[in-house]
Each structure stands twice: as C-alpha cells, then as structure tokens.
Amino acid sequence: MTARAGGTTLLSSVDLTLHPGELCALIGPSGAGKSTLLKVLLGIREADGGTVRLGAGPPGAAGPVGYVPQRDALHGGLTVERTLHYAARLRLPDAPAGERQNRVLHAMGDVGLTDRRAVRVSRLSGGQQKRVSVALELLTSPGLLILDEPTSGLDPGLEAQLMALFATVARQGRVVLVATHAMESLGRCHVLVVLHEGRVAYVGPPAEASGYFGVTRFAAIFDVLKPGRGGEWHERCSSRCGAFLARPARVPDPGASA
C-alpha cells in the first residue's frame, strides 16, 4: 500500500498482514510515517495505491475498529463508570440498557479499573486515564484496536502494565496494533514492524530484530536507521521478511475471555 500527500510519498510499498490474536508494535523514527499508516488502516485517510483489507473487506466495512489517539479525550469531571456509561449510550444506541451496563462492567474489568469506577477521571493517574480510553474502545468489541503512542509520558512501570493489558486484549482474539516508543516491552509483542522513511525496514518477531539490524538492544535500532537509507532497509526486508508475512493465523487461546 502507498500513501501520498501533495508531491510527497509518505508511505511506499507497505506490505503487512496481521492476524487475530496478535499484538503488533510499530516503531520508527519521528516522521517515519507511523501515524499516517495508522490513519490509512483506520480509513481516516485513503491509500493512494494498493489495497487495505480488514477481515474480508476495506476499512469501514469490517465492523467496529477501536482507536486510542495519543491525547486522551476524556471529561475530567465524570467518574470512570459515568464516562463509560455515556460512551456506551452513544456508541451502542440500539442496545438494551442491561446489555450496555454489562459491557460497561466488562470493559472496566478488562482494564482493571473496577475498584476505581466511582472516581472522577481528573483524579486518576495518567496510566489509569489511558486505561479509561482503552476501555471506551473495548465497549464495541472491536476486532482491531489501534493505539497511537499510548504510553508516551508514562513511567516505565506503567508502560509495561499497559503493554501487558494490550497483550491480554490481543489474546481475546483481536488484532492490536500499537505505535510505541516502549522499547522495554517489545519482547511481549508477536510482531514488530519497523518503519523508516515511509517504508517497512523490518517485519517479523521482535526476538529476531536485533540480529537483523546487528544491534544488541532494541533502542539501538534507531542508530542504524540512517537518513536516506529507507530504500536499502526496505530491500533487505523484502528479501528476508517475506516468509514471515505468509505465516499462518494463530490458534485462538481458549483461556482468554472474549
């Protein structure tokens, strides 16, 4: 898939397949095209070439997709439960009240905020507020959950907690795609995508990325992504990452609640 703006190519030949149950981390230098890629997948902006398919169809036709933008859009004066309750009324207008309440309770439980349900959002920590944003997206049971840098500004402990939460959400049979700078937690992802200058420089298991880039820690990947080398890394990826793209779908985890 390709995306352009004016005369500039923002994304070029992005070839990526994600299966239900997978947690995928998207990393890359600032300006690499991560947010642009997420917007194309969300259908917020159109691809200029190639195809984007969610499930059997194009974006928008595959049922609800969850999107947690970088900045939380929450009302600080409402409690956690009220926030979810109002969102459920907006997003599930045809659902009976009992069903909506059920979903609110489930979403609060999934993000571990049940004991904070009566607390105002403004009194929550940054990580707890982010979990409210994630819970809002879980209300509609999306098959695809997209998060744009959800852990920036959080301490490493909270960052790890949130990444663990995303892994749990993925285990429920969803695709979770997260643009992140949380290098410490990349190991718990199933798929790592490295974007450089609008091209995929690597796609594969996180554990194989250090060998591929010739580094000893994930953060050092950024040192080898030199300006002007996007094409070179992309060619390398095309010759070495193809087999991974053809991997089979994951077997659903029977232990995870849907």
Ligand X SMILES: Nc1ncnc2c1ncn2[C@@H]1O[C@H](COP(=O)(O)OP(=O)(O)OP(=O)(O)O)[C@@H](O)[C@H]1O
Q: Are strands 191-196 and 23-27 parallel, antiparallel or unpaired?
A: parallel
**Minimum distance from residue 143 beta carbon to ligand X (Å):** 23
Whether 150 and 159 have beta carbons less than 8 Å apart is answered as: no
In this complex, which beta carbon is closest to Mg ion, that of residue 1 or of residue 195? Answer: 195
**Strands, E, within the chain: which ranges?**
3-5, 8-11, 23-27, 65-68, 144-148, 175-179, 191-196, 199-204
**Minimum distance from residue 35 beta carbon to Mg ion (Å):** 3
Q: Which does 36 bind (CB under 5 to 8 A by kind): ligand X, Mg ion, none?
A: ligand X
Q: Which does 33 bind (CB under 5 to 8 A by kind): Mg ion, ligand X, none?
A: ligand X
Cα–Cα distance, 109 to 132 (Å, whole number): 11
**Minimum distance from residue 149 beta carbon to Mg ion (Å):** 6
Cα–Cα distance, 105 to 147 (Å, whole number): 22
**Minimum distance from residue 39 beta carbon to Mg ion (Å):** 9
12 binds ligand X (CB under 6 A): no
Q: In this chain, which stretch among 29-37, 156-164, 201-209, 226-234 interacts with ligand X, using CB under 6 A?
A: 29-37
**Minimum distance from residue 175 beta carbon to ligand X (Å):** 19
**Binding-site member from 14, 21, 28, 218 for ligand X (CB under 6 A):** 28
Q: In this chain, which stretch among 31-39, 166-174, 224-232, 247-255 interacts with ligand X, using CB under 6 A?
A: 31-39
First to last CA, the chain: 31
CA distances 152 to 14, 98, 159, Å, are 25, 36, 8
CA-based nearest residue to 108, from 69, 81, 82: 81
227 binds ligand X (CB under 6 A): no
Enumerate binding residues for ligand X (CB under 6 A): 5-6, 8, 10, 28, 30-36
Enumerate binding residues for Mg ion (CB under 5 A): 34-35
